[in-house]
Structure formats: C-alpha cells, structure tokens
Amino acid sequence: MNFIKSIILNRNLILVLAVVAGLVFGDYAHYIKDFNVYVLGVTMTFAMTGLNLALIKDFKSVAKPFAMGVVLNYLVFGIVLLPVAWLLMPTKELFYGFVVIVAAPPGVAIIPFSLILNGRVEYAIIAVTGAFFASIFVAPILINTFAGDVSLSSYDLFITMIKLVLVPLIVSQLMRIKPILKYVQIVRGKVVNVGFAIIVFVAVGMNRQVFFSDPEVLLLVAVTILIATFGLGTLHSIVAAKLKLPKDLAITQNMLSTIKSSGFSVFTALTFFGKEAAIPSAVLAVLILVYLIYLSVKGGGNKAQDEKPDLQST
C-alpha cells in the first residue's frame, strides 16, 4: 500500500496537474508545441536507459520474446483496438489518433512493473526492446495502411521513427556506462515525469474546447481505450489461465499486450494529423496510469526496489 500511496501523491499528481494546466492555460499550448520533438526526444532517451541491449547479444536465445513483444504490442493490441475505434469514432481524425496509438512502441513502464508485480523482468526488457526496434518499420506501415487517404510521406514517417526511437535508444545505451548511469538514475524519474507532463499539457491544451463542450467524444474515446486495456487485459488473463502459462510470464505478457507509449503517440498524432487526433493519446495517458495502479492493487505488488517506477515512461 505504500507503493500505491507514493504513486497517488507523486506521479499521479504530476499527471493531474498537467491535465488541469492544459484545461486552464490551454491558450499557451501552441507556443510550446513546436518544442515537443525535443521534449519527447529527451524523455524517450531517459526512459530507455532502463533497456539493456547487452541482453540481446545472442539473438537466437532472445528471438522468441523479441517476436512476442511485436506480436502482442502491435498485432494483438491492434486487432482489438482498431475495429472498435472504427465503429465508435465520429471523425477520421479521431480514428487516425487510434491508428497512431497502435503504431506507437510499448510503454517502458512495462519493465519496472514486471519487477513490482513479480513478472519476468528480463523477458520484459527483451520484448520491449524488440518492439521498439520493430516500431521503426511497423509504425510507417501501419499509419500509411490505415490513413491512406491522407497525404503522408513514408520517408518522413521513417525518419521520424529514427529520430524518436533509434537515436534515443543509442544515446540511452551510452548513458548506461557505469560512471554516468548512477547520476542518470538519480534524475531519470524527474526528467521523464516532467517531459511527459509537458507533452500531455500540449495535447490537452490544444483540445480543451472538446473537454468542455463535447463530453460524448471523450466518453467514446475512453470506452474504446478501456476495451483495449482493461478488456484485453482481462481476456489475456483468461486465455493465459486456460493455456496454463506460468504466472510471471502471463503478468508480463498482459502488459505487453495493453501498455503503449502515450507520450510518443501524442507527439506523432499532433505532428501528422493535427490536434484532434491527439485526443485519444491524451486520454490514454490517464487510463494507462489507472490500469497500472489497478494491476498493482490486484497483484498486491509491493516489491522493494532502489528506484520507484516511472509511470510516465509510458
């Protein structure tokens, strides 16, 4: 319960303040939206210092979790989310926002929460890393496939993925060098939380008229995301039980199939499809946090660790 209390009093408070600031001071959001690429780049870099590429030296030994990370985070998640979004979303822009969510890499929070919930931490690191590498190619393909009526350059999408995934991943590994890592670990949570808050502030601020005047849209977006998190997570637990998967593996795979990087999807949706498309990602940021707290309460996660998990690394 101390762990849950720390979330509510700290990281959740930062998220709530970002949402409230977006609603109250939303007129200022457009002044900083052009800096989002740098904010996200720094945020992703610090968040990915939790990935250890040394674990994938022998590819044969990691091929299965690598592949499962891709299958669960893109294929399974997309099969559930996209049909629901297609049926419920009143505008193409909102649907495109969900396409971007599916195309986004997994949330790095899967790794610390695998520790907290007694999942398979090494499996989580390998699977998340595999999904991140795959996102460089998967994201442009998914976005072009489901948003084909929008004039988008595959090259621009690919370069964006290189900037936001591959470059931060490489820099993050340099930051894992022993003399540097101890300082990175001290500030990592703060940098990630603040960066994430800025991105959410921009998304909420640029769409605050929707939050005030169109609750029906917010309800439809929330229902769609709840189906793809709580609904899919529950379904996975049932299937895992029937297949008699080891509990620690089932816990990690559950998160791989439901947790996405909302910070990444906010920026990408804003950049390529406009402010309305960022609404699903802004709502996703809040509901992923709720889902992770739910998993912690359900699993009674209270495992001690040197550094509290960065929820906002999602």
β-sheet bridge partners, residue 106: 260
Is 140:104 a contact under the CB 8 Å cutoff?
no
Region 90-117 average pLDDT = 91
Q: Residue 213's pLDDT is what?
A: 76
Is 205:28 a contact under the CB 8 Å cutoff?
yes
In the predicted structure, residue 149 carries a pLDDT above the cut 70: no
CA distance 171 to 66: 21
pLDDT, one tens digit per residue, over 174-200 is 999 888 888 888 888 888 888 888 888
In the predicted structure, residue 45 carries a pLDDT above the cut 70: yes
CB atoms within 10 A of CB 281: 29
Region 281-302 average pLDDT = 81
Q: Residue 6's pLDDT is what?
A: 53
Q: Residue 308's pLDDT is what?
A: 46
Q: Residue 38's pLDDT is what?
A: 87
DSSP three-state, residue 260? strand
Burial of 203 per CB tally in 10 Å (0-12, 13-18, 19+): buried
Longest dimension (CA), the chain: 54
Q: Residue 240's pLDDT is what?
A: 95
Region 261-288 average pLDDT = 88
Is 259:110 a contact under the CB 8 Å cutoff?
yes
Lowest mean pLDDT among 50-59, 238-247, 257-266, 298-307: 298-307
Q: Residue 7's pLDDT is what?
A: 47
pTM of the model: 0.84
What CATH number did the domain enclosing 142 receive?
Answer: 1.20.1530.20
CA distance 104 to 96: 12
Record the tokens describing residue 176, joined without a space. 């894992």
Q: At what angle do helices 279-299 and 262-273 cross, to 10 degrees?
A: 170
pLDDT band of residue 300 (cuts 50, 70, 90) is: low
Q: Could you tell me which residues come within 8 angstroms of residue 97 by beta carbon, excluding any fewer than 6 positions away?
A: 265, 269, 273, 276, 277, 278, 279, 280, 281
Q: Residue 151's pLDDT is what?
A: 66
The residue written with tokens 């970002």 in the block is: 18
The b/e string for 58-88 (b: 16+ C-beta within 10 A; e otherwise) is eeeebeebbebbbbbbbebbbebbbebbeeb
CB atoms within 10 A of CB 147: 20
Owning domain of residue 287: 2-313
- Give the end-to-end CA distance of the chain in Å, rounded to a whole number: 22
pLDDT, one tens digit per residue, over 194-225 is 888 888 888 888 888 777 777 899 999 999 99
Q: Please state the φ and ψ torsions of residue 106, each to the nearest 5 degrees.
A: -70, 160
**Secondary structure of 69-117 as H, E, C letters:** HHHHHHHHHHHHHHHHHHHHCCCHHHHHHHHHHHHCCECCCHHHHHHHC
Count of domains in the chain? 1
User: What DSSP string runs through 182-245?
Assistant: HHHHHHHHHHHHHHHHHHHHHHHHTTHHHHHH-HHHHHHHHHHHHIIIIIHHHHHHHHHHHTT-
Is 193:11 a contact under the CB 8 Å cutoff?
yes
CA distance 15 to 18: 5
Q: Residue 304's pLDDT is what?
A: 42
